[in-house]
Amino acid sequence: MLQECVAVFQKILEEQGGGEQKILDEYVPASGTYLLVTRDGTIRFQEEIELKKKKEGLILERGLHFALFCFMDYHSRLISMNKPMDSKKVIHSDNYLSFWIKKDSLVSGKLSPEIIDRYYDTLLDPIGKKYGKSQEAVRIYQEFEEKNGAVDQEELERCRRWIKEHIFSLDCVDFSKKGYLKIFFEADEETYIREDQRYLLPNIYNNNDYNVEINGEILGIPDNNLGMNAKKPFLSIKTRKYPAPYLLNEKQVIQQKQFFDYLTNQAAIGRLNIYIDTDKNKIYSYTSKETCKEKIDSGYFLRLNKGKETEISYQDNLSGYRQEMKYPFYFRNFMDAKYTRHPEYAEWFKRIDSRMEFKDCINDVVFLNYLNGNLWRKEEEVSALNEEMRCDILFARATIRNWSMIRSGEDLDRRLKTVLEKVTLRALKRSVLANQPERTSWQLNFLWSCKEYFRKKEENGMEESGYELVEKFKKKVLTEESPHIEKGNDEEYYFTVGQFVGYLISLNKAKNRPQSLVNPFLNATNDKVLKCRIGQIYKKYNYTISHDSKRAKKLLGMVMSYTPTGAFNMEKFLWGYAESNVMYTKKEETE
């Protein structure tokens, strides 16, 4: 998978003339103060580069000489902080033409003349000061030196002197601002590239101890998202002659590094979702709030995680990816509810054609805006309004993100249908217990809209049956002498049960009447248990019911005279419980 992604990236580089221009075009240097020192020791350019978080996203503020600083910065960076040229990790650059420190290191006194000298001494004699313990690193460095020559000692000493004379008295730098102080010395591009390579080649492999030579070519373990050492013996494949998971030659490992450099730039500005089209040789990057509108028949999806290093935290295949839904989703107001306290709820009653928009609808309606922020977090980092919602997020998020961002197909549609039905019902239960009638009706409308969508129908059948059920029920209770529920109509039965239970609970005279009073009915395992609990609560509160209450008698008769054939329909029960109760409805409202 990774090699195919790297191959696509290399083809893109070739289309742009080869080299590293695409990386530099999208390069994101660290925030801080950047200085360019001329050969005569004067500061030629000074710029403040800062990555700011704004409403529209992460914005990189840049100056007139941004491109120049990007080039020098890219060719002066460490592979990782585990491979520094300064053993104390105070100086973060990799060659004598650059000098990087965090401003705090200077303010706190962490940087000292001794550390500066050790840095330049290591650059002057890397074999003696750094690579001596690794024969493989020594061999690689010596081969490089034979081809490109030794370090220019005169230039190195010139840079050393300037740093020691000026670094502790740079009045032009604002040290009250956090970030880096990066000093670069004037030199041509070839020199910067050469000195960067001088550091890069002995360090580009994860661990030179695993390098092997085959037919005169060095193969080793890449350093990206892989770290083999004595502390991670489980990564070694003991049954093979070479225990490394895979080996790359010098050309391949540099190409993979370039690809991860590109990914690092994307992650730095919040573009963590990467879509790679292996047919068209295209790469698209997006933030978590953006949508990939491209059609991808074959490729890969990568989810990045930006920590100490950029890592691919999730990967999946793309096959026939389309953001457009096969059938539009109609979010209907089946109950014709009026949202006076939450008018924003009504904004979702519309046609939805995009998978990402449907995901946002689920996030808003079912998870009350707790889903999107938790889609990619580690399990222990997931947080929500309560533990029940947190469990639902963990249960549903993989299916929702796969369906909305990565894959499509009938199997995934069926899985999404099952997941949504379960989590929406549980969300309904929480809304009922929290005494949120508008949210309850909103979620009911969503549940019914989902059922209509997954039946792949566009007619208003569900809407009509919803109205019919309510109107038929009210007409029975308010007008008929001896109403009953027709055989096989379990939906009307559980709606009636919800109405009757809601009425009985309303008779509780306690000052604080918790919604948990409905829990015994929600937890009923079968109809026999349900009717038993209805009888118990009826005995408890029937002293407040008038003997002449025809409606109460009708509801009791409708409930006790019917035996359902199916399982407990929580959806219809909650609907009946949350709907305005027929016991308190004026007769003229139905006329």
**pLDDT digits over 503-539, tens only?**
888 888 887 777 678 888 888 888 999 999 999 998 8
* Contact predicate 346/327, CB 8 Å: no
Q: How far apart, in Å, are the Cα atoms of 468 and each of 25, 253, 306, 325, 450?
A: 62, 68, 54, 30, 19
**pLDDT for residue 460:** 46
**Which of 224-228, 257-261, 275-279 has the largest mean confidence?**
275-279
Q: For residue 190, is pLDDT > 50?
A: yes
Q: How far apart, in Å, are the Cα atoms of 46 and each of 97, 183, 194, 490?
A: 16, 9, 24, 77
Q: pLDDT tens for residues 310-364? A: 888 899 999 888 999 988 999 988 877 889 999 999 999 999 999 999 999 999 9
* Contact predicate 574/428, CB 8 Å: yes
Strand order in the sheet with 180-185: 57-61, 43-54, 32-37, 180-185, 98-102
Nearest in space to 262 (alpha carbons), one of 63, 25, 3, 93: 25
* Contact predicate 45/68, CB 8 Å: yes
Q: Tell me the average pLDDT across 5-32.
A: 87
* Contact predicate 545/507, CB 8 Å: yes
Unique residue bearing structure tokens 């309850």: 440
**pLDDT for residue 239:** 59
Q: For residue 457, is pLDDT > 60?
A: no
pLDDT-based confidence at residue 86 (cuts at 50, 70, 90): very high
For 145, the token pair is 């030196």
How far apart are the C-alpha atoms of 556 and 535, rounded to whole Å?
9
The single-letter code of the amino acid at 363 is: N
How far apart are the C-alpha atoms of 520 and 342, rounded to whole Å?
30
The single-letter code of the amino acid at 418 is: T
Output 512 or 180, whichever has higher pLDDT: 180
Kindly report which listed range (270-274, 389-393, 477-481, 539-543) carries the lowest average pLDDT score. 477-481
The pTM of the full predicted model, rounded to 2 decimals, is 0.79
For 259, the token pair is 């690809």
Q: For residue 499, is pLDDT > 80?
A: yes
Residues in CB range of 543: below 8 A, 6 or more apart: none
| Mean of the per-residue pLDDT values of the chain | 86
How far apart are the C-alpha atoms of 328 and 348, rounded to whole Å?
14
DSSP helix, strand, coil percent of the chain (3-state; round to 5): 50, 15, 35
**pLDDT for residue 306:** 82
How far apart are the C-alpha atoms of 337 and 26, rounded to whole Å?
50
Q: For residue 235, is pLDDT > 70?
A: no
581 DSSP 8-state letter: P
Q: pLDDT tens for residues 478-487? A: 888 888 888 8
% of residues, the chain, pLDDT over 70? 92
pLDDT-based confidence at residue 494 (cuts at 50, 70, 90): confident
CA atoms within 13 A of residue 478's CA, in its CB half-sphere: 17
Question: Can you tell me whether residue 577 is helix, strand or coil?
Answer: helix
The single-letter code of the amino acid at 233 is: P
Unique residue bearing structure tokens 């990386």: 23
**pLDDT for residue 587:** 62
**pLDDT for residue 461:** 46
Q: pLDDT tens for residues 539-572? A: 888 888 888 888 888 888 888 888 988 888 888 8
Q: For residue 401, is pLDDT > 50?
A: yes
